[in-house]
């Protein structure tokens, strides 16, 4: 048997499968594009925030400032409570009334308590008598002879019925003004006067030195919220010199005198 040498077999080249491409989202340029897009978005967001920030910040600041200022204004300008006048609260308030005439007369009083400022130009008795609604006498604020000019009070002692009218005994011309207690002036310490006067006192408890240079009655009364309500500081005829205690105000000082008098701190 004849052997033939083996012939080399021709190699058949099989077609190679094409290399598998990476998906587009895994390729380098996709990451680059994504990064650019992300940075662009952040840039837009940050840029928009910066543009809006001043306006928004200004509004917020204005609102915050306004809110902060409101309590400050309230603290700087608290609602002021209306000041009350003790004498206007404790005694009747009414419009002052002036009456005038000559000789004897009777006039109606506008309130149960008040101040009488009177003048008389006669030479005989000048007497003012307070009457209640039954025409009964309750007090005698003025009882003098001849000319008169002074201020006194009625209805403060709480004696008898409520004041309703005023009986006038006179031999000459007279003029009388009836005013509320709240109209009286403040007592100045020291205080000087001549004749009758009424003053409001709002000071502390004190000791006063009183003096009078006259011929008739010198009576000083003090009306307050003290437990006694009404106290007689002085009650003399003629000249007087003395020291008296007084409780804290508010109160009314009523002076009946026919001459010059003084009131000072002792």
| 37 — pLDDT class (breaks 50, 70, 90) | low
Q: What is the mean pLDDT of residues 212-239?
A: 92
What pLDDT does residue 1 have?
Answer: 45
| 75 — pLDDT class (breaks 50, 70, 90) | low
Q: Say if residue 92's pLDDT is above 80.
A: yes
SS3 33: helix
Overall size of the chain counted in residues: 266
Terminal-to-terminal C-alpha distance of the chain? 172
| 230 — pLDDT class (breaks 50, 70, 90) | confident
pTM above 0.75, yes or no: no
With tokens 């005013």, the residue in question is: 179
The DSSP H or E segment spanning 87 is: helix 86-90
Does residue 19 have a cis peptide bond before it, meaning omega lies within 30 degrees of 0?
no
Condensed to tens digits (0 to 9), the pLDDT of residues 178-204 reads 999 999 999 999 999 999 999 999 999
Phi, psi of 107 (to 5 degrees): -125, 155
Q: What whole-number distance in Å separates Cα of residue 52 and Cα of residue 258?
A: 88
Does residue 190 have a cis peptide bond before it, meaning omega lies within 30 degrees of 0?
yes
Please choose, from the candidates 152, 149, 157, the residue with its C-alpha nearest in 3D space to the C-alpha of residue 132. 157
| 5 — pLDDT class (breaks 50, 70, 90) | very low
Q: What whole-number distance in Å separates Cα of residue 208 and Cα of residue 244?
A: 5
Q: What is the mean pLDDT of residues 62-90?
A: 64
Q: Which domains, from first to last, does the chain contain?
A: 85-183 (2.60.120), 185-266 (2.60.120.380)
């Amino acid at each position: 048997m004849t052997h033939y040498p083996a012939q080399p077999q021709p190699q058949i080249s099989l077609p190679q499968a094409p290399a598998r491409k990476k998906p587009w989202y895994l390729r380098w340029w996709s990451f680059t594009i994504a990064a650019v897009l992300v940075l662009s978005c952040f840039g837009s967001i940050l840029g928009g925030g910066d543009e809006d920030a001043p306006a928004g910040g200004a509004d917020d600041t204005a609102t915050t400032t306004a809110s902060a200022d409101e309590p400050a204004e309230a603290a700087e300008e608290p609602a002021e409570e209306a000041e009350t006048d003790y004498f206007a609260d404790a005694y009747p308030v009414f419009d002052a009334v002036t009456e005038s005439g000559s000789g004897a007369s009777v006039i109606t009083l506008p309130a149960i308590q008040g101040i009488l400022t009177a003048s008389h130009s006669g030479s005989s008795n000048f007497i003012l008598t307070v009457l209640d609604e039954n025409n009964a006498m309750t007090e005698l604020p003025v009882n003098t002879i001849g000319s008169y000019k002074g201020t006194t009070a009625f209805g403060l002692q709480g004696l008898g019925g409520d004041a309703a009218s005023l009986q006038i005994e006179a031999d000459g011309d007279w003029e009388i003004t009836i005013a509320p207690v709240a109209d009286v002036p403040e007592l100045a310490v020291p205080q000087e006067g001549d004749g009758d006067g009424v003053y409001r006192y709002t000071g502390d408890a004190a000791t006063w030195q009183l003096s009078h240079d006259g011929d008739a009655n010198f009576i000083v009364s003090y009306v307050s919220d003290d437990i006694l309500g009404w106290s007689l500081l002085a009650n003399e005829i003629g000249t007087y010199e003395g020291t008296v205690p007084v409780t804290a105000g508010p109160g009314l000082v009523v002076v009946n005198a026919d001459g010059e008098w003084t009131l000072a701190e002792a």
